[in-house]
Amino acid sequence: EIVLTQSPGTLSLSPGERATLSCRASQSVSSSYLAWYQQKPGQAPRLLIYGASSRATGIPDRFSGSGSGTDFTLTISRLEPEDFAVYYCQQYGIHQPFGQGTKLEIK
Amino acid sequence: EVQLVESGGGLIQPGGSLRLSCAASGFTVSSNYMSWVRQAPGKGLEWVSVIYSGGSTYYADSVKGRFTISRDNSKNTLYLQMNSLRAEDTAVYYCARDAVVPAAMGYYGMDVWGQGTTVTVSS
């Protein structure tokens, strides 16, 4: 079974800075089946990226995804105050594991 | 409007049973892949189960043999029957639509989520 490991666990940055979040799979996965989600306290997760690099409907273009094989990255080019949240990667398959999450906090 | 609304959560003793419901509007449950995802207090997201449009079902190892996912097409509702509940099943349970195009092997993420229902397993 595939395990997704996200790093760092916590990322402290300031608004306007660039954020780079990593998701590493324990074995090679199809980039078509890799998604990213944002979750704010008390809210359900929100889909950001699917297919490793395609933005979901309504997602600002400051969010971008990349990667292939075992290494995937979510990049937020210029942080807005509303971007501080927890981010999860997820792989689609018969089982659909999530990574453990990266908390993006205000520095 | 495309929407999912969960219900059925509550406080239950260890070893007990509970059935969660997820009512859909704006789309047809039976034509989609549907998942349950849970989140223990202060923890990350954990995928629990999926039901495919064709009816196949799959479970996380942590719930296999205890939980059953199903749907009622006439009610456009997804269910999660949870038996032999344990303290570690305490969580907010979300239902979500898995946007899949099986013929094209395309996956477009869990694009619709409910607001969640809380299950607490405690004596």
- pLDDT by residue (tens digit) across A52-102? 999 999 999 999 999 999 999 999 999 999 999 999 999 998 899 999 999
Q: What are the structure tokens assigned to B42, written together?
A: 């202060």
What is the pLDDT confidence band of residue B78, given thresholds at 50, 70 and 90?
A: very high
Asked if B20 and B117 count as a contact pair (C-beta separation under 8 A), the reply is yes
Verify whether the Cβ–Cβ distance B35 to A96 is below 8 Å: yes
Q: B102: which residues sit within 8 A by CB, 6+ positions away?
A: B52, B53, B54
Position B75 scores a pLDDT of 98
B31, B66, B70: which is closest to B50 by C-alpha?
B70
pLDDT at B69 (0 to 100) = 98
Query: What is the per-residue pLDDT for A1?
Result: 87
In whole angstroms, what is the distance from residue B95 CA to residue B113 CA? Answer: 6
**Bond into B102 cis (ω within 30):** no
pLDDT, mean of residues B5-24:
98
Tens-digit pLDDT profile for residues A4-23 = 999 999 999 999 999 999 99
Element (H, E) at A105: strand A102-106
Residues in chain B within 8 Å Cβ distance of A21: none
Q: What is the pLDDT of residues B82-103, one digit of tens each?
A: 999 999 999 999 999 999 888 7
Nearest alpha carbon to residue A86 among A71, A98, A69, A68: A98
Closest residue, chain B, to A38 (C-alpha): B45
- C-alpha distance from A41 to closest chain B C-alpha (Å): 10
Judging contacts by C-beta atoms under 8 Å, the chain B residues touching residue A94 are 58
What does the pLDDT average to over B31-38? 97
pLDDT at A64: 98
Record: contact A98-B106, CB cut-off 8 A:
no
Starting from the edge strand earliest in sequence, which strands make up the sheet with B77-82, in order?
B3-7, B18-25, B77-82, B67-72
In which band, very low, low, confident or very high, does the pLDDT at A43 lie, cut at 50, 70 and 90? very high
**If residue A87 lies in a helix (H) or strand (E), which one and from where to where?**
strand A86-91
Kindly state the average pLDDT of the residues B99-109: 85
